[in-house]
């Protein structure tokens, strides 16, 4: 019995003349995700990627689990293949789905016939295989309206395939198909979620973390590294850029009005992120800002922060409720790490009464006492690069 994995493509199927490039990106991502799990044979036909074991080293269980986190796949299932013959299909369904049929109390068969040369219609094939299954498993009743188990049959160009219900894939677009962006990664709940959401749109990410030792601890840095490692499960390998931020924050504290501390700090973050983006040929900056959540996330505050940029800012969380963000953080596995009690640089020198409706001219005047270019250049020179990868 030929046990395989079928990966159904998502939005890629809507692409036109450039569809092939998206498919190639996805195939490359699937191959990388299978490294270390044995040898596999991959092929793509009719909006489906076929993952077959090339030899006995292929761990199909581990492969199926790993591929659930690859963006660009909307549905996936374990299946078995056979020749395109009604009796061969029925025998395969009886044998391959034995455990499912013995557990279920009711079932139905759904067939798809993309190979129009097959001599039976989809309805005829479903009826035939359904009859054979009903005879083989008399304790499992036929129920075409609300079955406990749906048996799927697909007659395609290469073979016929039998499988039970597919599971959801990660959806979205293949990583790398929509360019590269720099994402600001703090140790909080929001930024890992915003990074995940933009990566799901096919963007390769360069995470940037601002580190203010000794005001923030080594544990805070390790926390961010762990968040980055968790994200590589979905985003692929990334390089974390750790930027020394202590001198900049001390200069702001010593020379600028307290009410503007956070705004000026954020403007420096944006300048540095843009510098890294230029070095890495990234086309956008990603932030975890959420409108009205804190004082620096009013429309006026965000406008003054982003005024230093030439690149677009992507803000996937901007209209989300906090509970929605928390649910997403739990789903992708970052929440428990995010709530560890190690604070990031945003908690350093927090003003008692921050400006929430700043005017840009006021912010520019407040920071004019600083040697901005020198401070940014110093931070860029001092950054540390850490390779992230999912274990």
CATH code for the domain in which residue 324 is found: 3.40.50.620
Tokens of 209: 């973390």
Amino acid 344: pLDDT: 73
User: Does 305 share its domain with 344?
Assistant: yes
User: Does 215 share its domain with 294?
Assistant: yes
Q: Which string of DSSP letters, residue by residue, matches 19-63?
A: HHHHHHHHHHHHHHHHTTS--EEEEEETTEEEEEESSTT--HHHH
Q: Quick check: is 173 in a domain?
A: no
Q: What is the pLDDT along the chain (391 residues), one digit of tens a residue?
A: 578 999 999 899 888 888 999 999 999 999 999 999 999 999 998 789 999 999 989 999 999 999 999 999 999 999 999 999 999 999 999 999 999 999 999 999 999 998 889 999 999 999 999 999 999 999 999 999 999 999 999 998 889 999 988 899 999 999 999 999 999 999 899 999 999 999 999 999 999 999 999 888 899 999 999 999 999 999 999 999 999 999 999 999 999 999 999 999 999 999 999 999 999 999 999 999 998 888 778 899 999 999 999 999 999 999 999 999 999 999 999 999 999 987 777 777 777 888 888 999 999 999 999 999 999 999 999 999 999 987 6
Boundary residue ending a domain (148, 168, 188): 168
First to last CA, the chain: 32
Measure the CA angle with vertex 171, ends 49 and 190; round to 5°.
145
Report helix, strand or coil for 338: helix
When divided into structural domains, the chain yields a total of: 2
Q: Alpha carbon of 318 to those of 163, 197, 291: distances in Å?
A: 40, 12, 5
How many Cβ atoms sit within 10 Å of the Cβ of residue 210? 28
User: Does 59 share its domain with 119?
Assistant: yes
Checking DSSP bridges between strand 2-9 and strand 73-82, what pairing results, if any? Answer: antiparallel
Q: Quick check: is 79 in a domain?
A: yes
Q: Quick check: is 174 in a domain?
A: no
- Give the Cα separation of 206 and 243 in Å (integer): 13
Q: Quick check: is 175 in a domain?
A: no
Amino acid 170: pLDDT: 95
Domain of 217, in residue numbers? 180-388
User: Does 216 share its domain with 107?
Assistant: no
Q: Quick check: is 145 in a domain?
A: yes
CATH assignment of the domain containing 39: 3.30.2130.30
Boundary residue ending a domain (138, 168, 198): 168
Sign of CA dihedral 133, 137, 140, 142: positive
Contact between 206 and 183 under an 8 Å Cβ cutoff? The reply is yes
Q: Quick check: is 378 in a domain?
A: yes
Contact between 58 and 39 under an 8 Å Cβ cutoff? The reply is yes
- Give the Cα separation of 184 and 284 in Å (integer): 11
Amino acid 343: pLDDT: 75
User: Does 228 share its domain with 258?
Assistant: yes
Give the orientation angle of helix 261-280 with respect to helix 372-381, to 10 degrees: 50
Contact between 317 and 190 under an 8 Å Cβ cutoff? The reply is yes
Q: Quick check: is 215 in a domain?
A: yes
Boundary residue ending a domain (168, 202, 222): 168
- Give the Cα separation of 86 and 69 in Å (integer): 35
Amino acid 391: pLDDT: 63
- Give the Cα separation of 81 and 137 in Å (integer): 21
- Give the Cα separation of 334 and 328 in Å (integer): 9
User: Does 262 share its domain with 158?
Assistant: no
- Give the Cα separation of 93 and 91 in Å (integer): 5
Q: Tell me, what DSSP letter sits at residue 188?
A: S
Q: Quick check: is 149 in a domain?
A: yes
User: Does 117 share its domain with 249?
Assistant: no
User: Does 27 share its domain with 112?
Assistant: yes
User: Does 253 share its domain with 350?
Assistant: yes
- pTM of the predicted model as reported, rounded to 2 decimal places: 0.88
Checking DSSP bridges between strand 285-286 and strand 180-184, what pairing results, if any? Answer: parallel
Residues in the chain, overall count: 391
Amino acid 114: pLDDT: 87
User: Does 101 share its domain with 211?
Assistant: no
Q: Which residue has the tokens 């995470």?
A: 207
User: Does 135 share its domain with 273?
Assistant: no
User: Does 201 share its domain with 144?
Assistant: no
């Amino acid at each position: 019995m030929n046990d395989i994995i079928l990966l159904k493509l998502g939005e890629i199927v809507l692409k036109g003349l450039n569809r092939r490039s998206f498919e190639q990106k996805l195939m490359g991502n699937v191959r990388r995700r299978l490294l270390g799990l044995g040898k596999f044979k991959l092929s793509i036909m009719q909006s489906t990627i076929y993952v077959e074991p090339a030899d006995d080293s292929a761990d199909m269980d581990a492969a199926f689990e790993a591929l659930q986190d690859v963006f660009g796949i909307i549905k996936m299932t374990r299946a078995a293949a056979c020749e395109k013959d009604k009796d061969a299909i029925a025998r395969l369904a009886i044998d391959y789905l034995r455990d499912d049929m013995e557990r279920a109390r009711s079932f139905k068969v759904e067939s798809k016939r993309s190979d129009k040369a097959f001599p039976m219609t989809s309805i005829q094939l479903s009826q035939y295989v359904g009859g054979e299954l009903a005879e083989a498993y008399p304790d499992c009743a036929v129920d075409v309206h609300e079955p406990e188990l749906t048996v799927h049959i697909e007659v395609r160009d290469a073979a016929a395939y039998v499988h039970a219900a597919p599971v959801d894939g990660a959806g979205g677009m293949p990583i790398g198909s929509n360019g590269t962006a720099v994402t600001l990664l703090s140790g909080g709940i929001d930024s890992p979620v915003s990074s995940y959401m933009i990566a799901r749109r096919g963007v390769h990410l360069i995470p940037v973390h601002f580190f203010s030792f000794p005001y923030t601890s080594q544990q805070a840095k390790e926390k961010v590294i762990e968040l980055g490692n968790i994200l590589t499960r979905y985003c692929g390998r990334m390089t974390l850029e750790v930027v020394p931020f202590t001198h900049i924050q001390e200069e702001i504290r010593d020379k600028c009005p307290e009410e503007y501390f956070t705004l000026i700090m954020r403007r420096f973050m944006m300048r540095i992120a843009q510098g890294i983006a230029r070095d890495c040929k990234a086309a956008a900056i990603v932030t975890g800002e959420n409108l009205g959540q804190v004082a620096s996330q009013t429309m006026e505050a965000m406008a003054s922060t982003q005024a230093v940029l030439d690149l677009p800012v992507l803000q996937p969380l901007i209209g989300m409720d906090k509970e929605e963000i928390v649910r997403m953080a739990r789903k992708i596995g970052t929440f428990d790490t995010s709530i560890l009690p190690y604070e990031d640089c945003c908690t350093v020198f927090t003003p008692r009464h921050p400006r929430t409706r700043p005017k840009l001219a006021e912010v520019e005047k407040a920071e004019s006492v600083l040697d901005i270019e020198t401070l940014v250049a110093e931070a860029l020179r001092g950054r540390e690069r850490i390779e992230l990868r999912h274990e």
